[in-house]
Structures are given as C-alpha cells and as structure tokens.
Structure 1
Amino acid sequence: MPEQLEFFENKIRPILAEHCYKCHSTRSKKLKGGLYLDNREQAFKGGESGPSIAPGQADSSLLYRAILYKEESLEMPPTRKLPDAVIADFKKWIDMGAPWPISNEPQIAEKQGINFEKQRKEHWSLKPINKPTPPDIADSAWPRNPVDHFVLARLEKAGITPAPEANRRVLIRRAYFDLIGLPPTPEVVAAFVAEDTSWDQIIEELLASPQYGERWARHWMDIARYSDGLGGFLDNRALPNAWQYRDFVVNALNDDVPFDQFIRWQIAGELTPNAPLSARAGTGFFAVGPTYNGDGGDAEATAAARAETLSDRVDTFSRAFLGLTVACARCHDHKFDPISIKDYYAIAGIFNNTSIADKPLVPDEIVKAYDNHQNKIKNVDNQIKKLNEKVKKEKREISNQEKKQLDEWKQERDALRKIAPPKYATAHGLHEKGNDNMHVAIRGDLRKKGEEVPRRFLQVISREKSFSKESGLLQLAEAVVARDNPLTTRVLVNRIWQWHFGRAIVRTPSNFGVIGEKPTHPLLLDWLATNFTDNEWSIKDLHRLIMKSATYRMSSRHISDNFDRDGENRLIWRMNPRRVEVESWRDSMLAATGELDLKLGGTPTNEILNSARRSIYATISRNGDRISSDPFFRLFGFPAPRSTAPKRIISTVPQQYLFIMNSPFFQKRADALAKRLTRESETNKSRIEHAYQILFNRQPSTNERDTGLTFLAQSNSRSAWNQYTQALLGSEEFRYIE
C-alpha cells in the first residue's frame, strides 16, 4: 500500500540512516554483525544473530527487541536508546508487515540525478492543468451539469448504466450529514418530500448554517493533525490555545474565504499582505503539531529533536497542500518521486527560521497598552521588593517612614491591578526568527553538515530562484497557490470530492507521486481544478457544483450487472453508502434526544462524553490516550493526530458493540430519547413512528412497527423503552448514510 511505504520512507528509513548505517550498511567502513540495514533483502535476511525482522511480529523481531533496550546483550544503537515515539513507530511498521520498497519498483532518484524536465512532462500530477471540454455522451438527458458528462462518458464506455436518482428522504439526509454533520428534523424532511422546499434551497440553507464550518473544519483538522498537545515522550507539552486555530478554520470556512487566501494564512499568517487579525491564528496549522525536545539537552538529542520537528513541518506541509511526500527525501533523494534531498532542506530551511510563539489576536495598540500597564505594576512591585531586600540585607527592623512608603506603594499597585485591562487572546503560531539557509544533514544528522541549500520551492514545480525575504514563509505560500503550480488545486478538489463521495478521484489523496494511485477520472479532476480557480477558489461554489450534479444525486442501490463490471465503483455508477464519522454519530445522538448544545467556538472540554457540545470541541491529545474521551474516539476510527490523516479508516471490532450496549454515554442517550418520545407522543404506535422519523428520516415498515409494539407490550415500562431506544440508536441504519 502506498501509505505504508510512505510510513517507511518518512518514519523508519531516516532513523536507520541516522543511527544504523554507520555500522550496518554497504557504506560502513567495518560491517558489524554481518547485518545490512540499507537493503531490503539483506535486512530481512539478517546477520550473524539471525533474521532481524519478522514481518507482522514486532515482538519476535531482533531489530525491535534491540531498540527496546530490555536485553543487556541486545541494545541498539549502542550509544543511547531511541525515543519512545520512534520505538513505537518501529513496532507499528513491523506489525503492519514491515513494508519496504522492493528493488524492482520504479525509482527515479538515480545516481546521475533527477531529470526534472522529464518528470514534468511524464508524470500526470506534474503536468500543467488545462481545462478540458466536457465529453460528448449518448444519454444527453441524464447530466445536470458538466461534472456528469465526465462521469457518464466513462460509464457509457464501460457499458454501465448509472443508478437511478435517490428518493428525496435519502437526498436530504445525505445533504445534511455531508454539509453540517447532523440529521435533518422530521419537519424539514416532510417539507422537502412534499416539495415545499427545493434541492437548491436546502443546499443554500446548509451552506449558510454556522454548523457547516464546524463540519468541514473537522475534515481539515484531520489534515492539520490537530490536537491540544499532550503527546508522548519529548512532546509532552499542552497547547492551551490550540482551539484558536480550530475556531480560525471554522470561521474561515463559514465565511467562504477563498482557499488560496486560506492557504496563505496557514503558511504565512500575518505576513500575508492586508491579513486580518484572525490570520495570526492561521500558522497554528504548524504549531498544533509536535515540537520535540531533546532528551537530556545534549547536542545529539537536541539535534535529533530539531530534525524530527522539521520533518513533521515539511511532511505535513507537502502532503496537505501538494500531495507529495517530501519528507521521504530527508536522508537521500526520494526513491520514487522527483524530489531531491536538496528540495527537502530548501523547504526545511524555511521552517528552521521559525519558532512557536503566542500571537496576539488583538490590534498592536491593545497589546502595547496592556504591556505598558503591566510594566507600571511591575515597576511598583520592584520598588517594594528592593526595599524589603534592603531591610533584610541590613538585618534591621523596618522604619516607620519605610513602612509608610511600602503601604503607599502597595496601595498604588492594588489600584493599578483593579483598573488593569484584561489579558488579550493569543494563538499558537509560527514566529519568524531569521533568514538563514540550511545545510544538507549527512544521514539526517543535523550536526553533520553537508552542502548549504538556498531556501526555495520544489525544483520540479518551480524554476524560481531562491527565497530571500526573511524566513521565506510568505514566498513559500505564494509558490503553493501560484497559477502554474499543477498540484495544489488538484489535491484540494480531490479532497472535497472524497469528503462528499467517501472515495476520492485519486484514492491516495495525500500522495500524488509515482507510487500513489492514478486518478480514475483524470479529465474530471482537471476540469474541477480549473473551474475551482475560475470561481476564485470558493469551496462553497464547489459544494454547489458537486451536489447539484446527477452524479451526487444517484442512489446507492446495488445493481448486479454494474457490480460485476465495476465492483469497486471506481467509475462511480452509484453513490457509496458510508458510515458517518464518530463525531457526527455522537452529535446526531445528542440532536435526536434534544440535548445538543450548538454554541459555537471557545475553549475545549476534557469530558466530551459528559458534555452536550459538538464533538469538534473535545480536547484531543496527540497520543490519543491522555484525555478521558480519547479511547471513545479512537475506538470508532478517529486518527491519532501524530501526523496528517488523509482519510479515516473504517473498522468493525467487538469493542464497538460493547460500547453501544454497556457505556453510560449510550445508556443516557437512550434514556433521553425515551423521555423525548414519551413527552412528544401519546401512544406506543405514534412514539415508534416518531422515533423512526427522528433517527432514520422515514416511517417504520409494518414489520418494524409491529416488532416494536410486541416488544413494548411485554413490559410497557421505562426500562423497556430505554432498551428499545438503545437498540435503535445502536442500529447500523442510524450510523450510515446512503
């Protein structure tokens, strides 16, 4: 899998190069233990002690046991134990099967160097984007807009007929979950089914809803590996103001800030010309990620921590905005893509000129007024301190005159404190601190300097000269959104498509490189990308375009003949039925019971399972195990925010059903729903019907209604109703959208 190879290149190979190659590679002056770790076949074969890697079995692998430092005769590297986070990466890598590129896979980083011009002409994602003409199709009645021409042309060529349009109940439920992550009310559904409101009206109402920004911010926060800090070893600090970045994203999406501007603010923040104060929170995109500290503070540990921090910045930046794995070129030219080691240090050099700082979210004059007032208080405090120290040093009693003076100063200080302006809000962000270039780090070790590399953009994309203005952040931002950059808009519209359809046009959304998948509909991707820039990078216009297409409005009906021809639905002959994310599932339960608190923004809550606020406002720890609600989120597929997450992993494990059956959270929601039904309906029959309308946006079938009535007739107690509502809330239908 491309993602697994990315993990190896980004997390494993750099560690091997930095800590192991000196003694265990073809370049070693003296090979130790007969073990090579720079070659796949030799590494798996092992050395004098036997095979070093047992794919899928980390605990049985000599390599893993050596870095654990639990066997005195088996401790590697010999100088010091690796950080716990790195050891965890090795365990994860080996347990997933120890993916390692095999020697016959395509590699472009040959000894003679990278032919950038050739790659620009040959690799699909690096070619210039030209707006294609929507293709002709036989069934001219089906398309609703140009999107459908591209989809239907592929279907007709394959002899596949698209699924019929979904019914209006399915459509409105789909729209609500897609745009705001919440179910429609029975009243809204009834009006839409009766055609009192149109599809276009529904879309506009949802795009105008404040909940839209919350829903789509959570998608982007996966890309930004958002957390409130609290990582593992060497990254243990809290980020108390990370929520300011979250609110920045919510507000920007609600305001439909052009996405090129949104990107500029996240890379360069207030350095962007005419940037609003809120843009100071934008570089939280980087600040909410890990910032490692050296263990013990020695030179080696400090350099290693800085190298890991820079790797995170480069990796998150390049995968999020460009769909490239630039961090894989940290120790050598990229094994597959036209990215050189100099490219890596050109980008890393920009981030090396920054540090994490708290950025004021108020005008500078307010900051100045606050600081001036605090200085007045501090000056009085210093006078008090000096007098007390003088008396103590002279070993005498304080005089009456001095006591009077102290009282006056204390009164002055107390008066100043009473009228002190409140501390202004701040956000974590990047602060420029220099304009130096970096040197290539030999084998990833920042202490071993190679050639100096000017700060610049990726050579395969831009022929521009080096960046010379301050850190280079603003020039980097402009290079990302430049019209001649073929990657950024392709990557973005592909992500939006994925979040609407469950699957992307390029199914490796953060890897548009050689080992990533090719687009299923390359012409559609390019048309969407160029149309996006034509419409001034408006995300909301892109939603309108997609959702008003016949493609989006298809049902998820299974058609055997189509399935036989295209079982993976790569040609998009139907809508993909999909499970909603854990956040929407939880929020929908609270909406169904009438408990949901729709308050926007603000500080996060540690106890989200005991809160009525939306899940986006939960405190999230980097390791996914520091907050009481972390296990709940992780159980249902929430990604650990240690690195950018391009898509959610859907899993079904027994523990999920144990949570549904036994957790206090679920039982409380069942009780609250039962109370609502009892309060709003008088008979069991009407309550059952009301429950189905609230939860599933439809009427129950005769069998469903009769089954419910039979169950409740056995014991028409509150306990029976709680069991019944718990079963409905835990049903697959409530968790899925068609």
Structure 2
Amino acid sequence: MIDRFKTVRATAWLGALFGASIAVTANEPTPEQVEFFENKIRPVLAQHCYKCHSTQSKKLKSELYLDNRERALQGGESGPSIIPGKADSSLLYRAVLYKEESLEMPPTRKLPDAVIADFKQWIDMGAPWPKSNEPQVAEKQGIDFEKYRKEHWSLKPIQNPAPPEVRNGTWPRNPIDQFVLARLEDAGMKPSPEADRRALIRRAYFDLVGLPPTPEEVAAFVAGDSSWDQVIEELLAIPQYGERWARHWMDVARYSDGLGGFLDNRGLPNAWQYRDFVVNAFNDDVPFDQFVRWQIAGELTPNAPLSARAGTGFFAVGPTYNGDGGDAEATAAARAETLSDRVDTFSRAFLGLTVACARCHDHKFDPVSIKDYYAIAGVFNNTSIADKPLVTEEVVTAYNEHQNKIKNFDNQIKQLNDKVKKEKREITDEEKKQRDDWTSERDSLRKSAPPKYATAHGLRENGSNNMHVAIRGDLRKKGEEVPRRFLEVISRDKSFSKDSGLLQLAESVVARGNPLTSRVLVNRIWQWHFGRAIVRTPSNFGVIGEKPTHPLLLDWLATNFMDNGWSIKDLHRLIMKSATYRMSSRHIAANFDRDGDNRLIWRMNPRRVEVESWRDSLLAATGELDLKLGGAPTNEILNSPRRSVYATISRNGDRISSDPFFRLFDFPAPRSTSAKRTTSTVPQQYLFIMNSPFFQKRAGALTKRLAREGETNEARINRAYQLLFNRPPSTGERDTGLAFLSQANTEAVWNQYAQALLGSEEFRYIE
C-alpha cells in the first residue's frame, strides 16, 4: 500500500513537472540544444516514461503525455514544476534525484547519475524542446530521401566551381581570395590591408604549433631574412605542429584517459597511445581519408601499419557505460548509451550529422531514419574494447613464451613447497637441490625477459550480426531487424556483409561520392585557422545547422583537398598563402556597419588562444617549457613543464574532472564530441591570474630569465616585450615600467611587474 501510494504521488508530481514548465524558452532552441534534447533527454523519456505517459500507453497515468510537446505543455493533474534555467528549484530534477520518498521517478529505480546530470543541464539551459516532436514509429516511411539529395546543400554532390572573376585583380594570391573578394565586391566592401610582419609570424606560430615565435625568429622575418613560405614550411616540419593539431582533433574525438560511464571512474592507462597516434598522423601528414579508415577500422584496413591498431582508440577512449547492478534493464540501458555515443561521435565528427537523434524515432529535421541509426549501431554492436599489441605477432609470441617459462618454474616451485607442507615433513636434500635449480633458472629468465610490449585501447570485432530497432530505445524490446549499412540518403540502402562492417563503414565515409566528409574536414580546418568556420555549426550540416557563408568556396576547397590526396598540410599551405589569411584584424567602421559579424571575411578575426596554448606559451616565455614528445600523461599539469596536450584528461560519471584549470578557461567537457570552443570571460579567470601559485611561479621564472638576459631595467623591459608580445615596448609602456620598478628595484617588485605582463590580454590574443 505504501509503495502504491508513493507511485501515485510520484506520478502526480510528474504531471506537475511538465505542467506549464516545458514552455521552455521564448526563443527557438539552438541546434546544439536540439541535439542535446534528442540525444540525452528524449531517449530517457522514451525508455522510462512513455509506457505510462504517451499515446501508446495502455493506461495513461495522471492524464500526462510526454511524447508530444503540445500535450506535455498542457500538463497532467498537477500544476507547473519545471522552472527553466533553475534545475535545483524544479520538481522534475527533485524527482529524478530520489531525495524525497514521495517524489521519486521513475518509480521502479533511480536513474544513473550521469542521466540525472543531463536533466539538470537541460533544465538549466532553459529546458529546450523542439516544437515539432511527434514521435514516429519505426515502420513509418515518411522521409523523401531523393528530395533531400536534390535540395539540401550538404547532400548535393560536391561541385568544382571555377574561381569567380573579380574587379580588383591585384589583390588575390590564390583562388581562395577570388571567392572571398567576389562576395565582398558584391556587397560594396573592401578587404582589410595585410597584417604587418610581426602580426603575421605570431599568427603563423600560434596557428601551426601553438607557441609564440622567439624574438630572434621575429627579427629574422621582419628583416626579410626568411620568407613567409619558409616560415610555413619550417613550422609544418617540426613535431610541435602535430601536438598542436592533434589537440584540435582530440576535441572532436572527446579524448579522455578514463571511461567515464555511469559511476565508472576506471582509467584507461593506454589511452595516450591514441593521442600519440594522432600526433604522429598529423606530423606525417597521413592522408585524411586514410586517417579516417584507421580510426574506424584500424588494422582491418589493407596494408595498415602496426600504429593503425591505435586508431580505433577514437571510439575506445570514449564513454563506455556499465549497468549499475547488473540486472537486465541496467545492462541494456548501459549498452544503449555506449552505442549512442559511438554513433553520435562517428556521425558528427566525420559527417557533420546528428544521427543519434534518430535513436528513438526518425530524425525530426534531417533525412536520417531510425533504421539508419540501428544500421550503423549494428556495426558497433559487433565490437568490444580490447588491448591491441603495437608490435608484431612474433614479438608477442616470444614475450608470452618467455613468460610461460617463468610461470612454469613458479608452478613447479609452488607444487614442491605445497607437497612438503601437506606431508608435514622437512624438504629432502634432493628436493632442495631441485628447487634451487628451478629458482636459479627462473631468476635467470626474469633477468633476460624482454620488456612488456606496448598496447593500445581499440575496437575488436566479435560478430557479424544485425541489430533490431529498439522499441522506445529499449534494446530488450526488439522491432524490425535492420541490415548493417551506411546512411540511406548517401548509400541508397546498400548493406554490409563482411564481418562487423567496420571496414565497409570506413570506406563509405571516405568514398568520393560521399558529399559530407571532405566538406566537413575543410570546414574544421578553416575554423581552426580563422576562429570561425564557413559553416558555423561545424558538426551539424543538417537542416537546422547553419548554411555556409561561402558555399562555392567550401566546395572548391573540398574538391581541391581530395584532388591533392587529402593532405592537411597542403590545405594549410593553401589557406595560409592566401591574401585572405594575411589580412589584418583592423576594425573598419564602414565594413562593420554592413557585416558586424564578419561573415563575408573582410578581416582576420582577433582570437584568444586556447588554454593549452596559453599555458604552453607562459612556460615558453619563461624558459621552462619541456618539448619532450609523447608518452604517458601527466596528472598534475600545473606542476609539470610538459606541453598541455600531455595532461591527463578524465571524465567521471556525471562530473568532468579534467584539471579545474582547463575547465576554468573553456576546455571542452570530454563526455561528447566538441565542435568548437566557447570563449568566456569570468572573474575567476582573473583571480587565477592574480593569485594562483602557478602564475606566481611563472612570474618569478620570467624575472630570473630577464635578469640573466638584460643588464639594466630598460633592457629587461625591452626583452620582456619581445618575449611576450613579439614587439618592442612603446615609449609610454617603457616609461610606465621604469617608473613602477623605480619604487624599489627588488625581486618582489619585478615579480609583480612580470605577473602583470604575463596576465595581460595582449599575451593571450592573436590578431
């Protein structure tokens, strides 16, 4: 009776929860908010709520529908209970928290902490719920794929447009400039002048290696001793390039050194092998189509090197969920979440589509059916995480045979000791001699044993089965069987028949006829150079994503990229040698009035460097940076001289526990793929600059370096500006510094001065 009362009360409260509350926000949800709802919220509602609160319910409870926005807005038998933007004050959040006995939903068991955290995040962001959200049953065939192929820009075949004619024929340096200038001229605008050489070399260094140039490198470039082309080639040739660009890709790959599923804090001790794989791939300019194959299919790719075994770490270092309790429901829910992560990361990273939004129903906006979701999920359902040897089979065999010999001697010694103990007697001389001989041989083998070979976390094939559509997202409730295949809108329902389907999936992604992959990649590279992409929703090329500002340029770049062997380094060269890239960030009032958001690219966007580059630059400026490459991650990155790419990154259940320093400066949460970073300005950032031991130590190190490299205060000030800003100080800056230091020419005063310079906005920005 008590349990029944609790369920009735909880159901009534849930009616309140959705009463007037999902009148979410006054504005339309953003594409990112829609993705979050479709990926994180709707599947939970479908699995845990639709049985009692949907049009398919045999017996509707509390007059509450949760499968339809309009009916959910009407609520049930109680009043409003979601307060958009205030999860802690919302009854929905209180219900799933299970903190109040009469207010617990779902009534049978508490949701995993990670899911509860998703509901909190959803409410705090305003509880966005897309207006058009009528659930579609799996059997419904309502998507006109051919219409989307003909009409939606990203699904049309990639064109190879000729660079347009422009009136100002002297400005363009390559075809990129013709596409950009043509748009500017049509709008009656002119491009900004070229940046000065100091700004250019600083921009090049931060873009390609994430570090500032030395004063000597700046001086040589400004003097004309080295050309722009030489600077680009030198930077592309050093290993710091791979570290910088690997970190960009690691955002997309939601890299972490731990599993981070439901309440799963286990580490992934060899995740760093995937990180090093990515670093090496960028340094070696592995063609991007091959890079994709190795990350999806690894060593299944024909003629793949041993290092490719680390490639499927792209999936293996992502969240892997385990059922809390081991019962069938928890196990199925955990597997469903793991597959959702695989499909979501795969589709957004490589295709720019949100396929995981079709997990419970056909996609609301894009030509992605629920069958598409389970066709791709079926591929990943035939895999499991495994440790892959990064050496030949001969090395593995030799190591195992050597270890088996050691184990055999251990077993013989143990058996003899057990025998003597069981017989309750002293060991005989003959037995002792035998044991000593075995011990000697075992110890000799231990000394000569080869080191344990390196392994990487990756995917292993373990089947070739298809999946069934999961009714309401519950894998235990099977609907129609779906053959493994690629997206129907691209592949036209051609199924996979070989093994798990990983290799066929990889080949489908990089097929020349796929209109998405090359467009998505060149758009990402453009964003990482300019701060803003041609398509400003880099992981959403679907209907609710933004359209390209320069569609012809995007297609020309994508075609050129494929024609040039999918070389990312060649793409860097093409972009950086353009007049567009070399523009200054100067503010031009007339242009700003017409295009304040710089969509037509009339100037370079001034940008704040990412937290990793900022920290690395602090260490470089003070002379402390250790450029050692690769290896195991560093747990306490603020106490290490190594580059930030080698920091330990973790995700633990519902909280992200990567270094708080990183999170403070907008490092992305590695629970899902990240398309672009935010740039926030909050008081805590300045408190860190003023008060943190890390920053104070850097100021002290800079003071010591300046003392070594300058005889007078004026010389040291000049050196500081060259090291930090790649320019000499102005007369006013020099005089201000001298006046401050004249108060008391002590190390403490110098430390304060150094800290002020290191914490300046100019040090953190590139123009």
Q: TM-score, normalised by structure 1?
A: 0.98
Q: Partner of 1:144: helix, strand, or coil? A: coil
Q: Report the alpha carbon displacement of residue 40 of structure 1 after superposing the two structures with TM.
A: 2.2
Residue aligned with 2:479, SS: strand
Q: Give the counterpart of 1:28 among 57, 73, 82.
A: 57
Confirm or deny that 1:228 pairs with 2:257: yes
Relative to structure 1, the CA distance from residue 703 to residue 541 in structure 2 (aligned partners, 3 Å threshold; closer, same or farther) is same
- Are the counterparts in 2 of residues 5 and 101 from structure 1 also a CA contact under 8 Å? yes
Tell me the residue number matched to 1:596: 625
> Which whole-Å CA distance do the structure 2 matches of 1:606 and 1:419 have between them?
32
User: Superposed, which structure 2 residues align to 1:100-139 within 5 Å?
Assistant: 100-103=129-132, 111-139=140-168
Counterpart residue identity of residue 689, structure 1: N
**SS of aligned partner of 1:431:** strand
Would you say the 8 A contact 1:582–1:638 is kept in 2? yes
Q: Is 1:167 aligned with 2:192?
A: no
Provide the C-alpha distance between the structure 2 equivalents of 1:357 and 1:691, rounded to a whole number of angstroms. Answer: 50
Q: 1:477-523: CA deviations, max 9, x gaps?
A: 00000000000000000000000000000000000001100000000
The residue number in structure 2 matching 1:19 is 48
**Structure-2 residue corresponding to 1:258:** 287
2:170 to 135, 141, 145: 141
Indicate the larger mover: 384-393 or 352-361: 384-393
Number of corresponding residues: 738
1:508 to 522, 537, 540: 537
Q: Distance in 1 between matches of 2:241 and 2:478?
A: 48
Give the C-alpha shift of residue 381 in structure 1: 2.1
> Given the alignment, which residue of 643, 658, 668 partners 2:672?
643
Instruction: List per-residue Cα deviations over 1:276-307 (Å, max 9, x = no partner).
Output: 11101100101110111111111111111111
Within the candidate set 69, 72, 82, 2:111 is matched to 82
* Percent of residue pairs bearing the same amino acid type: 85
User: 1 CA distance for matches of 2:255 and 2:298?
Assistant: 17
Moved more, 378-387 or 367-376: 378-387
- The alpha carbon displacement at 1:234 in A equals 3.4
Q: Deviations over 1:16-39 (max 9, x none)?
A: 111111111121111112222112
Residues 449-464 of structure 1: pairs in structure 2 closer than 5 A = 449-463=478-492
* Aligned match of 1:709: 738
* Alignment partner of 1:476 is 2:502: no
Tell me how far 1:161 sits from its aligned partner. Answer: 0.9
- Matched residues in 2 for 1:188 and 1:489: separation? 35
Q: Counterpart amino acid of 1:494?
A: N
2:564 to 535, 553, 572: 535
Q: Distance in 1 between matches of 2:306 and 2:313?
A: 14
Deviations 1:571-597 (Å, cap 9, x if unpaired)? 100000010000000000000001110
Name the counterpart of 1:326.
355
- C-alpha contact (below 8 Å) 1:109/1:336 kept by paired residues: no
Paired residue type of 1:594: G
Query: Once the 2 structures are TM-superposed, how far is the Cα of residue 405 of structure 1 from its aligned partner?
Result: 2.9
**3-state SS in 1 of match to 2:490:** coil
Equivalent residue for 1:615, pick from 622, 636, 644: 644
Unmatched segments (≥5 aa) in structure 1: none
Structure 1 residue 631 and structure 2 residue 698: aligned? no
8 A Cα contact 2:138 2:370, kept in partner: no
CA distance in 1, matches of 2:223, 2:714: 23
Change over 3 Å in CA distance of 1:112–1:432 after alignment to 2: closer
Give distance in 1, aligned partners of 2:511 and 2:734: 58
- Cα deviation, residue 42, structure 1: 3.1
Shift of 1:433: 0.8
C-alpha distance in 2 between matches for 1:233 and 1:474: 30
Q: Please say if residues 578 and 736 of structure 1, whose CA atoms lie closer than 8 Å, have aligned partners that are also in contact.
A: yes
- 1:314 aligned residue: 343
**Is the 8 Å Cα contact of residues 152 and 543 (structure 2) preserved in structure 1?**
yes
Q: Secondary structure at the match of 1:714?
A: coil
Looking at structure 2, the residues matched to 652 and 164 of structure 1 have their Cα atoms a distance apart, in angstroms, of: 29
Distance between the aligned counterparts of 2:68 and 2:88, measured in 1?
A: 22
Q: Distance in 1 between matches of 2:530 and 2:58?
A: 54
> 2:366 aligns to what SS in structure 1?
coil
Match of 1:53 in 2: 82
Mapping 1:480-495, distance limit 5 Å: 480-495=509-524
Secondary structure of 1:91's aligned partner: helix
For residue 243 of structure 1, the aligned residue among 259, 262, 272 is 272
Q: How far apart are residue 536 of structure 1 and its match? A: 0.3
* Root-mean-square deviation (Å): 1.8
Residue 552 of structure 1 corresponds to which residue in structure 2? 581
Q: d(CA) in 2 for partners of 1:262 and 1:331? A: 31
**Counterpart residue identity of residue 476, structure 1:** L
Matching residue within 218, 223, 239 for 1:210: 239
2:706 paired residue among 672, 677, 682: 677
Task: Provide structure 2 residue ranges, at least 5 long, that are not aligned to the other structure.
Answer: 1-29
C-alpha separation between the residues in 1 aligned to 2:586 and 2:347?
A: 38
Letter in 2 for 1:150: F
Contact 1:107–1:337 (CA under 8 A) maintained in structure 2: no
Secondary structure of residue in 1 paired with 2:170: coil
Q: C-alpha distance in 2, partners of 1:350/1:727?
A: 54
Whole-angstrom distance in 1 between the partners of 2:422 and 2:130: 71
Once the two structures are TM-superposed, the CA of residue 367 in structure 1 deviates from its matched residue by 0.4
Q: Tell me how far 1:52 sits from its aligned partner.
A: 3.8
TM-score, structure 2 normalization:
0.94
**Equivalents in 2 of 1:109, 1:552: separation in Å?**
48
1:446-479: CA deviation from partner (whole Å, max 9, x where unpaired)? 1111111111111111126211111111111000
Q: Identify which range, 655-664 or 614-623, moves more after superposition.
A: 614-623
Which residue of structure 1 lines up, in the alignment, with residue 13 of structure 2? none
**What is the CA-CA distance between 1:113 and the residue it aligns to?**
1.8
The answer for the alignment partner of 2:219 in structure 1 is 190
> 1:114-162 CA distances to partner (integer Å, 9 max, x unpaired)?
1111111111000001101111111111100000111111111111111
4+ runs deviating over 6 angstroms: 104-110, 624-629
Distance across 2 between alignment mates of 1:579 and 1:75: 45
Distance 1:723 1:25, change over 3 A: same
1:207 maps to amino acid: L
1:261, distance to aligned residue in structure 2 (A):
0.4
2:694 is equivalent to residue 662 of structure 1:
no
Would the alpha carbon gap of residues 74 and 379 (structure 1) be closer, same or farther in structure 2, given more than 3 Å must change?
same
Q: Deviations over 1:368-412 (max 9, x none)?
A: 100111111222222233334444445555444433333332222
Distance in 2, Cα, partners of 1:105 & 1:24: 14
Answer yes or no: is the 8 Å Cα contact 1:108–1:338 preserved in 2: no
2:35 matched to which residue of 1?
A: 6
CA contact (8 A) 1:439 1:451 kept: yes
Q: Which of residues 737, 754, 760 is equivalent to 1:725? A: 754
Q: Give the Cα separation in 1 of the matches to 2:676 and 2:148.
A: 27
2:446 to 417, 425, 430: 417
Check whether the contact 1:506–1:520 (CA below 8 A) recurs between aligned residues. Answer: yes
Partners of 1:99 and 1:107 lie apart in 2 by: 20
Contact 1:636/1:656, CA 8 A, preserved across alignment: yes
* Matched residue type, 1:668: K
Between the aligned partners of 1:500 and 1:24, the Cα distance in structure 2 is: 48
- Check if 1:435 corresponds to 2:464: yes
Give the Cα–Cα distance (whole angstroms) in 2 for the partners of residues 663 and 249 of structure 1: 32
Q: Deviations over 1:511-562 (max 9, x none)?
A: 0001100000000000000000010000000000000001000000111111
Does the Cα contact within 8 Å between 2:136 and 2:361 map onto a contact in 1?
A: no
Deviations 1:647-692 (A, max 9, x none): 0111010000000000000000001111111110111111111111
**Structure 1 residue 232, shift from structure 2 partner:** 5.8
In structure 2, C-alpha distance between the alignment counterparts of 1:627 and 1:408, rounded to whole Å:
54
